[in-house]
Structure 1
Amino acid sequence: MATWLGLMSGTSMDGIDAVLVSFPGNQVKIHGTHTTAYPDDLRQRLIQLSQNHGTPDDIGELDHAVGSLFAETAEGAIAKAGLDRHDIRAVGSHGQTIRHQPLGATPFSLQIGDPNLIAERTGINTVADFRRRDMAAGGQGAPLVPAFHKAFFGSATEDRCILNLGGIANISWLPQNPKDRVIGFDTGPANALLDAWCLDQTGRPYDDQGLWAQEGIVHQVLLGDMLSDGYFARPAPKSTGKEKFNLEWVRTMARRHPEVSAADVQRTLLELTAVSIARQLPQSPDMTIFACGGGTRNGFLMRELRRTCSPLTLSTTADLGLDPQWVEPVAFAWLAKQTLDRRPGNLPEVTGASGERILGAVYFA
């Protein structure tokens, strides 16, 4: 049975997830997993680069450093699983997004993490650069995971919404009626602003279980100011990243309200995530929401999402048979499979592309 290796590092920029997976009978079977955290200095350089603070030398150096770490993560996953690398058909590497600008006269999306290094060091064919073919066809190159969600999480008996809580939140609405189109887009920040403000104010890289946010209260005027950002009202297709929602965005909002304490800003940011997601959910009264991504480990965020999304039921993809942490790396393993099988990997109704396209470039070992 063909095995695939998916590599994913998202907008949280906290590390790289690897998963070894096969797809028997259109099911997902995980054979092994591995995670590598970014060293603090590398993470800080990546965050700075994503906010346009860097030179061409920085881009080149970080492309190499991230590619090396991706290769190391892949090799770690293979060693832990005890698999023969000759049984792995390909690696699907998302790379690390450092800039995503899908609008304007010259749209682009830039992921670093040199796939040549991955192919060379693992000895496995590597598929990468998934986003730009969709963009060449007029799409936004994101989000791409709704195609995987549709293939594996769709139901003939209920409407479902897959909610990914990474640095940025995105949703995939999967209607039970096959004649209805899938809807997918980035709703805005999930963990990105929470992590950025927590690191800036406390020195901790994230707010474990939302404990610091629970010390504060929601400042309604500040929340209204945040929600007035034009991104939230923009119609789909739409996608975003840290070039938009970053620490400077939070600081700008906080400077307008100097009376608000740091803990209250954190609590208000968590409310922003919960409210902005709930307001943008498709109108489907019987829909079930299944969350995935790192935000599912924040118990307070999940509690507040259940409140703002009520009366809809909020669960996680664990109830669909896939651990929330591994959904995205599995998706990019599947996208690599789509590429080598010469099958499309995008959903034009989600990205805005002019049609289905085979995504990715292949780097042969």
Structure 2
Amino acid sequence: MRVIGLMSGTSYDAIDAAAAELRLDGDRLVLSPLGMLSRPYDDGLRAAIAGSLPPASTSMEDVCRLDTGIGQAFAEVARQAVEQLCGGQADLIVSHGQTLFHWVEGSTVRGTLQLGQPAWIAEATGATVVSDLRARDVAAGGQGAPLVSIIDVLWLRGRSGVPVALNLGGIANITVARDEPVAFDTGPANALIDAVVAELTGRAFDADGVMAARGQVHAALFERLLAEPYYGRPAPKSTGKELFNLAYLARFMEGLPEIPAEDLVATVTALTARTVADAVRRYGGTEVIAAGGGIRNPVLMRQLAAELGSLPLRSTDELGLPSAAKEALAFAVLGFLTVHGLAGTVPSCTGARHARVLGSITPGVRGPLVLPRDVGSPVSLSIE
């Protein structure tokens, strides 16, 4: 089956599309990447997303406009992916949408909201669309995140030791692929870095870690940030920009003298490295296999390597899975499981009571999607 995964993370800078051929070979799921493309949000839509995120307030009119605008943006990227990556024909499109709110009270997730009306994608491409994948896990008592954990577990199963898959997006998350796997958000990755850089310079992110490299970690602020209670909570757990935002950072800076911009960026960059490394050590990780936009920040990666000490740090590219496409490919896999009636979660990773089939299906325009019957759940994932 030829499947396209669509993803825009908590950094909301671009929409990624990754295509793959997916097939079941006995109890093995075989994934053959077909390529990816990425398109930035236009400035107006990105500003509208930013203006609606916590701690800002919004209206139902804004929500409706965003749902339509994001859906149309995803539809255009999907249309391009069908033509450029799939030769004009895709069997299935899987859309993560754009997370606008992740409702967490204490250690319990009450709800999660991803916008981007899938009907626009179905109309633009004619393909069946799977969307809204997180809500079912939340309804089953889970965190709704990190959903990529099932792909990490299937893929890394069989490696020696305790491999840890790391995603450095707006929020950092890990999957610890041990006998009883565990996965959770460790804390901020690019969320605070990007927010500080945008506020102080107007640029979207710290390109090549230049600002962090020029700065010094502010010891007092660093210690205050590390005292955040979230880090001490047991897994499974999830978080987002609802917690880690500029207002949050400002509260920790109260009473401190003015901090130079470069030092502030250096401090929040070091925070990501320390909290990720602490989480890996806490769960006995023996190697870290990283993906996500954060791996393109050489300063962050050097700091993370230093924090991990003797533990190997490598990218998913070294193991055959394109790091830039990993999350979009992961959602392609989740949609593939959904339309085959197979569960897409690992309860020990999300905290759900049971593994569940995820998402909602929007029919395409070319007739029903005919699927094989009586297929079993895969126990491993191979990249070819």
- Aligned to 1:280, what secondary structure does the other structure show? helix
**Paired residue for 1:350?**
349
- What is the one-letter code of the residue matched to 1:60? C
- Aligned to 1:356, what secondary structure does the other structure show? coil
- Aligned to 1:77, what secondary structure does the other structure show? helix
Q: CA RMSD in A?
A: 1.5
**Paired residue for 1:126?**
129
- What is the one-letter code of the residue matched to 1:50? L
- Aligned to 2:280, what secondary structure does the other structure show? coil
- What is the one-letter code of the residue matched to 1:151? L
Do the aligned partners of 1:153 and 1:320 also contact (CA within 8 Å) in 2?
no
**Paired residue for 1:324?**
323
Residues 41-50 or 351-360, more deviating: 41-50
Shift of 1:140: 1.2
Do the aligned partners of 1:27 and 1:152 also contact (CA within 8 Å) in 2?
no
- What is the one-letter code of the residue matched to 2:116? G
- Aligned to 2:91, what secondary structure does the other structure show? strand
Q: 2:118 pairs with 115, 118, 121, which one?
A: 115
**Paired residue for 2:91?**
89
Question: In the aligned structure 1, how far is the partner of 2:68 from the partner of 2:216?
Answer: 43
Question: In the aligned structure 2, how far is the partner of 1:10 from the partner of 1:354?
Answer: 26
Shift of 1:106: 7.9
- Aligned to 2:331, what secondary structure does the other structure show? helix
- What is the one-letter code of the residue matched to 1:165? L
1:153 aligns with 2:156: yes
The 1:215/1:159 distance shift into structure 2, 3 A limit, reads: same
The 1:262/1:353 distance shift into structure 2, 3 A limit, reads: same
Shift of 1:216: 0.8
Question: In the aligned structure 1, how far is the partner of 2:35 from the partner of 2:313?
Answer: 27
- Aligned to 1:143, what secondary structure does the other structure show? coil
Question: In the aligned structure 1, how far is the partner of 2:68 from the partner of 2:285?
Answer: 47
1:250 aligns with 2:253: no
Shift of 1:32: 2.5
**Paired residue for 2:78?**
74
Relative to the length of structure 2, the TM-score reads 0.90
**Alpha-carbon displacement from aligned partner over 1:202-246 (angstroms, at most 9, x marks no partner):** 111000011011111011110011111111111111101111111
- Aligned to 2:217, what secondary structure does the other structure show? coil
1:44 aligns with 2:43: no
The 1:103/1:311 distance shift into structure 2, 3 A limit, reads: same
Shift of 1:77: 1.4
Residues 255-264 or 91-100, more deviating: 255-264
- What is the one-letter code of the residue matched to 1:89? D
Do the aligned partners of 1:165 and 1:291 also contact (CA within 8 Å) in 2?
yes
Question: In the aligned structure 1, how far is the partner of 2:284 from the partner of 2:188?
Answer: 24
The 1:318/1:292 distance shift into structure 2, 3 A limit, reads: same
Question: In the aligned structure 1, how far is the partner of 2:301 from the partner of 2:102?
Answer: 27
- What is the one-letter code of the residue matched to 2:292? G
Residues 9-18 or 240-249, more deviating: 240-249
**Alpha-carbon displacement from aligned partner over 1:325-348 (angstroms, at most 9, x marks no partner):** 111000000000010010000111
- What is the one-letter code of the residue matched to 1:141? G
Do the aligned partners of 2:16 and 2:37 also contact (CA within 8 Å) in 1?
yes
Q: Superposed, which structure 2 residues align to 1:273-312 within 5 Å?
A: 273-283=272-282, 287-312=286-311
Do the aligned partners of 2:164 and 2:285 also contact (CA within 8 Å) in 1?
no
Question: In the aligned structure 2, how far is the partner of 1:127 from the partner of 1:258?
Answer: 50
Question: In the aligned structure 2, how far is the partner of 1:209 from the partner of 1:190?
Answer: 15
Do the aligned partners of 1:163 and 1:291 also contact (CA within 8 Å) in 2?
yes
1:239 aligns with 2:238: yes
1:29 aligns with 2:45: no
**Alpha-carbon displacement from aligned partner over 1:152-211 (angstroms, at most 9, x marks no partner):** 232243321000000000000112xxxx21110000000011001001001110000110
Question: In the aligned structure 2, how far is the partner of 1:99 from the partner of 1:161?
Answer: 27
Shift of 1:48: 2.2
Question: In the aligned structure 1, how far is the partner of 2:294 from the partner of 2:47?
Answer: 21
Question: In the aligned structure 2, how far is the partner of 1:49 from the partner of 1:129?
Answer: 19
Question: In the aligned structure 2, how far is the partner of 1:119 from the partner of 1:152?
Answer: 30
Q: Which runs of 5+ in 1 are unaligned?
A: none
Residues 185-194 or 32-41, more deviating: 32-41
Would you say how many aligned residue pairs link Structure 1 and Structure 2? 358
Q: 1:137 pairs with 134, 137, 140, which one?
A: 140
Residues 287-296 or 19-28, more deviating: 19-28
Do the aligned partners of 2:140 and 2:354 also contact (CA within 8 Å) in 1?
yes
1:101 aligns with 2:100: no
**Paired residue for 2:7?**
8
- What is the one-letter code of the residue matched to 1:83? G
The 1:291/1:156 distance shift into structure 2, 3 A limit, reads: closer
1:54 aligns with 2:53: no
Residues 56-65 or 240-249, more deviating: 240-249
Residues 274-283 or 119-128, more deviating: 274-283
Do the aligned partners of 1:223 and 1:272 also contact (CA within 8 Å) in 2?
yes
